[in-house]
Amino acid sequence: MQTSRFLLFRRLLIFVLAGLLIYYHIFTLCDLYLSAGTGAHTRFEYLQSVLRVVITLSLLLVVFGNRWALWGMWAGITGLIATHYWAHFGNLPVDFTLGRHPLSYLKGFIFPTIITLAFYTSSQVGDSNADA
């Protein structure tokens, strides 16, 4: 009984955190492409958009239990954070770098780390229950 509650908590945690990230990245994409603004987008914005789509799709697969989608999530998040560093140190004309410390971009690894740990511990608990 205790194990099933633990498993439910882990899966709920994955669902909530992945849902928040999916919502955030879809909202950011919609804001970029559907808001009234300049019609021309830069290669930087297109690259970030592709990474956001990769993150969103892989998180959807993670929610449905696909273990290999964690690799896509990590590749997308790492790429997105790398583009943030590119913008920060490459003096690209973007607003999000103003007044930010370079280490602040590493916060982007917090949710993926929790999702990965929860996914693997819930898989191990689920696998050990199946063996019993």
**pLDDT tens digit sequence for 35-73:** 866 677 889 999 999 999 999 999 999 999 999 999 999
Q: Could you give the CA distance from residue 89 to residue 97 in angstroms, rounded to a whole number?
A: 9
Quick one: pLDDT at residue 98?
86
Q: Could you give the CA distance from residue 19 to residue 14 in angstroms, rounded to a whole number?
A: 8
pTM of the model: 0.85
Taking CB atoms within 8 Å and a gap of at least 24, the contacts of 46-49 are 47/83, 48/80, 48/83
Quick one: pLDDT at residue 73?
97
Asked whether the predicted pLDDT for residue 108 surpasses 90, the reply is yes
**3-state SS class at 99:** coil
Q: Could you give the CA distance from residue 79 to residue 92 in angstroms, rounded to a whole number?
A: 17
% residues pLDDT > 70 (the chain): 87
Mean pLDDT of 13-37: 92
56, 26 in Cβ contact below 8 A? yes
Residue extents of the structural domains in the chain: 2-131
Quick one: pLDDT at residue 132?
42
